[in-house]
Amino acid sequence: MIGRSGAEIVLGIGKDRAWLREKLAEGMRWRLVVLPQAECTRADWAGIFALIEAIYPEVARKLLPWREDLQNPALTLSMPPSLISGVVKDDPAHSEHMGLARYAASDDTAENARLFLWHTLGLNQHFKGDGWATDPLTGERVEEYLTANVPLRGIVGHRVIALDVET
């Protein structure tokens, strides 16, 4: 990310220019948060399932039996486009958004488990589960990590950088 513009950083995490223009028009602003690696979990399937057990114990017993199915790329490809659109994913109040409460109350299917991971953890169509992401701007493979959503004041050594994002 060093040497990139704010827009390139946002586009580098898989967002497209149309989304970026729309969010800028809505007044959205961005910050890059840099965390110590020790605070993060490798974004591979083992790390994802460990995070589910630690952060979402109320649904872990429902989701974890689907481990094998969730790792099958065909499941991701079979998701209905309307359910994985930004309109649903980016709006926790949307009636189709698979947040924690909705997932806990939903039918026990691999599809609902995958939607929970997509909507709540951001594991979209680009997530491969091998701990690596591909930079959409350069094609370079980079290590991928996740962390719990916690107050930043509790993370020693973090840095917050305001991004100047323009289209």
Instruction: Please tell me the least confidently modeled range out of 12-16, 32-36, 72-76, 143-147.
Output: 12-16
Q: What is the mean pLDDT of residues 115-125?
A: 93
Average pLDDT over residues 14-30: 90
Question: Above 90 in pLDDT, residue 53?
Answer: yes
pLDDT at 48: 97
Average pLDDT for the chain: 92
Across-strand partners of 133?
142
pLDDT on residue 148:
87
Query: Could you tell me which residue, 87 or 109, shows the higher pLDDT?
Result: 109
Terminal-residue alpha carbon distance, the chain: 17
Is the CB of residue 145 less than 8 Å from the CB of residue 13?
A: no
Look at residues 42, 40, 38, 11 and name the one whose alpha carbon lies nearest to residue 24.
11
What pLDDT is stored for residue 66 in this prediction?
A: 98
